[in-house]
């Protein structure tokens, strides 16, 4: 859609960034809160469990995100981006509030799964919706900036965790505060691209006129056959394989590391849980320049190189953590954790910019939903596996496995990825 592809950023784009950025920050709040809750549950007799079962608490939302990405990705191509996003945000905000009143660990795990449904739906739908309004000259950078709100949410929940002390219920209750944003989501327009492929031509023309101040005459494209997940593999097999491995590996590395980071730090440094929370915030702050540097490089060296290089460097940082933990060098442990945070989150900014550009509009929701589901599968497995490995072999080995997965993801993108910098959305 030429008027969007060649437009300049205006007030609407920045308003959309602010609203969706807030949603993104609270997705991070609700996801990362599991790590703090796990660390605090040891003080509550009704919520005791092994490291593996506590890891299940960290994984519950992520497995919910697996199904949520599929479900809401499908809905985004059927009922629209705006309605689907609003429904997904309502699901995780209400779920987070209800989960704060859990009576035992099993109940909390079940409710966290429901939270995950909404989280998993919000991520791919928000990124696709945002991408469909962005001009091609800055699309990659703007999506990476949107993704940087994850770091802001991570910092916020770290500060909240310190302020509330041992009250883990308040952490979960805070995660539901995003419900206050729902009225603003209702005011957003539907994606003109979506409206056009659904035959709602007049609505698409009016939306463009209101946002960009120009009158356009649009024609509905030929209606194609509905695309299933099976069709994704048949018609876009190479792309879907590359994204499956890349999203699985980046999420495995991220959630395996950050859900357990307070425990990793307390175990390797011999510090209290609350001291580890402070170090966690330091590593979270490093995520912001990671995003910003990736946003710059996306429009300079391209999506494929930025994603693969950042994944590779995050893996190398994880290997550095392993050696630092074995040597007991506190400065090296913190430095490697900071570097992992910098490069892993920069890779997230790149992969969110890259993925929507690899599929046409008619299947973008389904394609990004599948990719998001693979991420939740990797993210769901990682905390449980890391908990088991820690019990058997210690924190350093758990981080080494996480690092190996990040490196595998980098090699996948280098081998199978295609460059999309400057490509118009079809």
What CATH number has the domain bearing residue 344? 1.20.1250.20
Is the residue at 405 inside a domain? yes
- pLDDT value of position 278: 82
Is the residue at 49 inside a domain? yes
Is the residue at 423 inside a domain? no
Is the residue at 425 inside a domain? no
Where b means 16+ CB within 10 Å and e means fewer, 161-195 reads: beebeeebbebbbbbbebbebeeebeebbbbbbbb
- pLDDT value of position 128: 84
Compute the radius of gyration of the chain from its Cα atoms: 21
Total-model pTM: 0.76
Task: Give the separation between CA 376 and CA 248, rounded to whole angstroms.
Answer: 7
Residue 127 and residue 368 in contact, taking contact as beta carbons nearer than 8 Å: yes
Is the residue at 73 inside a domain? yes
pLDDT tens string for the chain (426 positions)?
Answer: 677 777 788 899 999 999 999 999 999 999 888 888 887 887 676 676 666 677 678 778 878 887 887 788 888 888 989 999 999 999 999 999 999 999 888 899 999 999 999 998 898 889 889 988 888 888 878 888 898 898 899 899 989 988 987 788 999 999 999 999 999 999 999 998 888 888 888 998 898 888 888 887 887 766 555 566 777 788 888 999 999 999 999 999 998 998 788 778 877 888 776 777 888 888 889 888 998 899 899 989 999 999 999 999 999 999 999 999 988 888 999 999 999 999 999 999 899 889 888 888 777 777 887 887 788 789 888 888 888 898 888 888 999 999 999 999 999 999 999 998 877 766
Is the residue at 424 inside a domain? no
Task: Give the separation between CA 131 and CA 191, rounded to whole angstroms.
Answer: 10
Task: Give the separation between CA 402 and CA 253, rounded to whole angstroms.
Answer: 5
- pLDDT value of position 34: 85
For 118, the domain range is: 2-416
Is the residue at 421 inside a domain? no
Residue 55 and residue 109 in contact, taking contact as beta carbons nearer than 8 Å: no
Helix (H, G, I), strand (E, B) or coil at 48: coil
Is the residue at 102 inside a domain? yes
Domain count, the chain: 1
Give 247-287 pLDDT, tens digit per residue: 999 999 998 998 788 778 877 888 776 777 888 888 889 88
- pLDDT value of position 111: 94
Please work out, in degrees rounded to the nearest 5, the angle formed at the alpha carbon of residue 381 by the alpha carbons of 355 and 407: 55
- pLDDT value of position 394: 86
- pLDDT value of position 370: 84
């Amino acid at each position: 859609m030429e008027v969007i592809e060649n437009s300049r950023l205006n007030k609407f784009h920045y308003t959309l960034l602010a609203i969706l950025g807030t949603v993104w920050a609270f997705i991070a709040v609700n996801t990362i809160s599991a790590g703090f809750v796990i660390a605090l549950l040891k003080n509550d007799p009704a919520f005791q469990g092994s490291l593996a079962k506590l890891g299940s608490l960290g994984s519950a939302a992520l497995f919910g995100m697996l199904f949520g990405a599929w479900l809401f990705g499908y809905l985004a191509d059927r009922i629209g981006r705006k309605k689907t996003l609003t429904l997904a945000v309502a699901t995780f905000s209400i779920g987070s509030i209800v989960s704060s009143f859990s009576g035992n660990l099993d109940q909390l795990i079940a409710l966290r799964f429901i939270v995950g449904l909404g989280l998993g739906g919000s991520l791919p739908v928000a990124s696709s919706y945002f991408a469909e309004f962005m001009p091609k000259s800055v699309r990659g950078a703007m999506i990476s900036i949107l993704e940087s709100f994850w770091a802001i949410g991570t910092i916020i929940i770290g500060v909240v965790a310190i302020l509330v002390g041992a009250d883990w219920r308040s952490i979960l209750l805070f995660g539901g505060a995003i419900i206050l944003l729902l009225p603003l989501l209702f005011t957003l327009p539907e994606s003109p691209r979506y409206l056009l492929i659904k035959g709602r031509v007049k609505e698409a023309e009016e939306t463009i006129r209101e946002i960009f101040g120009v009158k356009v005459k649009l024609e509905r494209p030929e209606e194609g056959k509905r695309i299933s997940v099976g069709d994704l593999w048949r018609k876009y097999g190479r792309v879907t394989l590359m994204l499956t491995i890349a999203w699985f590996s980046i999420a495995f590395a991220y959630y395996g590391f950050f859900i357990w980071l307070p425990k990793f730090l307390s175990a390797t440094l011999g510090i209290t849980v609350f001291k580890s929370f402070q170090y966690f915030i330091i590593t979270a702050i490093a995520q912001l320049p990671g995003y910003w540097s990736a946003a710059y490089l996306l429009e300079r060296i391209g999506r494929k190189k930025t994603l693969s290089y950042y994944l590779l460097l995050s893996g190398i940082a994880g290997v550095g953590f392993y050696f630092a933990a074995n040597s007991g060098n506190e400065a090296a442990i913190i430095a490697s954790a900071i570097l992992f945070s910098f490069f892993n989150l920069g890779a997230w900014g790149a992969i969110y910019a890259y993925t929507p550009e690899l599929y046409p509009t008619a299947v973008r929701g389904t394609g990004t939903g599948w990719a998001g589901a693979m991420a939740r599968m990797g993210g769901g497995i990682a905390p449980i596996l890391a908990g088991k490995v820690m019990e058997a072999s210690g924190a350093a080995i758990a981080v080494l496995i996480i690092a190996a997965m990040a490196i595998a993801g980098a090699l996948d993108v280098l081998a199978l990825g295609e460059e999309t910098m400057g490509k118009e959305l079809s």
